[in-house]
Structure 1
Amino acid sequence: MALGGGASGGGRRGRRGRKGPLTEINVTPLVDVMLVLLIIFMISAPLLTVGVPVELPKTEASAVEIKSEPLSVSIDQQGAIFVGDSETAFEQLSARLQTEAGGADKAAERPVFVRADGRAPYQAVARVMARLSASGFTKLNLITDTAPEA
């Protein structure tokens, strides 16, 4: 009798382990799934930006903080103008951006990011900036690459 509680104690433990409800939740699969989703979003987030391929000029300026969703205007190497992903004629630029901003009265509130290829003609960039300024857009930002050149 000195060895333990007898058959009844061992039987109770065995029954509880086999037939009793599981009281602990295993969170390891949840953590695994969340980490995989985090990695997927971290990889895909840079790909969700505007799809017009431009080579941005290098500068030493710091990043700008934004409070509302910006409008994006891109100028490629040949001087073609894109609003978002679609090409837009210079004559329709202000009307298209005002439509996307929600009207001419909201144009001053929305920031506009101008992404110009480093090899784009200066005249094309200057014309776009002047047209945007004359259309009522006051928060104009030139997007550059801040990484040092190798």
Structure 2
Amino acid sequence: MGMAVGGNSGGGGGRRRRGGRNKGVISEINVTPLVDVMLVLLIIFMVAAPMMTVGVPIDLPETQAKALNSETQPITISVKNSGEVYLQETPIPAEEIAAKLEAIATTGYNERIFVRGDATAPYGVIADVMARIQGAGFKNIGLVTQQKKDQ
């Protein structure tokens, strides 16, 4: 009964690698690059999300009205400061508003319709658009404004 004395100071009978080189395949997944990519994507989406607002870019007037809770996406008609009228994001002549609304309304004449008028748009154009919507039979019409910031 004897003990073997060797130069292996680490105990155990495993193989010793020379020069610190790994010759085997590492079977562990390195998640650090995955986490880096996910954080970059998160930052990109956080920056890009506010830019994805639906509609034509216009300068809305500010009021003290509270925000509405909306379960469904309403139909939006925008009036730019130059007097151009848009249905959702598509330019449309004012004469065709009633016909287009009747074609796309999913709940009939109870469809929610929001009118977004630029703060510097001519009042007559906005009033004409609202009169055409009401004349077509739609009753749920709202004006979109921005909430005033406390000063």
TM-score by length of 1: 0.72
Letter in 2 for 1:100: I
CA RMSD of aligned residues (A): 3.2
TM-superposed deviation, 1:54: 1.8
Greater Cα shift, 109-118 or 39-48: 39-48
Post-superposition Cα deviations, 1:55-87, rounded to whole Å, max 9, x if no partner, equal 110112222221112222111123321112332
Helix, strand or coil: the match of 1:26? Answer: coil
- 2:69 is the alignment partner of 1:68: no
The alignment status of 1:32 with 2:14, answered yes or no, reads no
* Matched-pair contact (CA < 8 Å) for 1:50–1:72: no
Which residue number corresponds to residue 136 of structure 2? 135
> What are the residue-to-residue correspondences of 1:5-44 with 2, within 5 Å?
5=11, 8-9=13-14, 11=16, 18-19=23-24, 21-23=26-28, 25-44=29-48
Conserved 8 A contact 1:68-1:110? no
Identical counterparts, % of pairs: 41
Per the alignment, do residues 48 and 20 of structure 1 end up closer, same or farther by CA in structure 2, a change over 3 Å counting? closer
Distance 1:107 1:19 in 2: 69
Which residue number corresponds to residue 121 of structure 1? 122
For 2:46 and 2:140, locate their aligned partners in 1 and report how far apart those are by CA, in whole Å. Answer: 28
Gaps of at least 5 residues in structure 2 are none
Contact 1:72 1:83 in 2 (8 A): yes
**Structure 1 alignment gaps of length 5 or more:** none
Contact persistence 1:58–1:147 (CA under 8 A): yes
Checking the alignment, whether the CA contact within 8 Å between 2:60 and 2:116 is kept in structure 1 is yes
Find runs of 4+ consecutive structure 1 residues off by over 6 angstroms: none
Query: Which secondary structure state, in structure 2, belongs to the residue aligned with residue 31 of structure 1?
Result: helix
More helix by share: 1
The answer to whether the 8 Å contact 1:112/1:139 transfers is yes
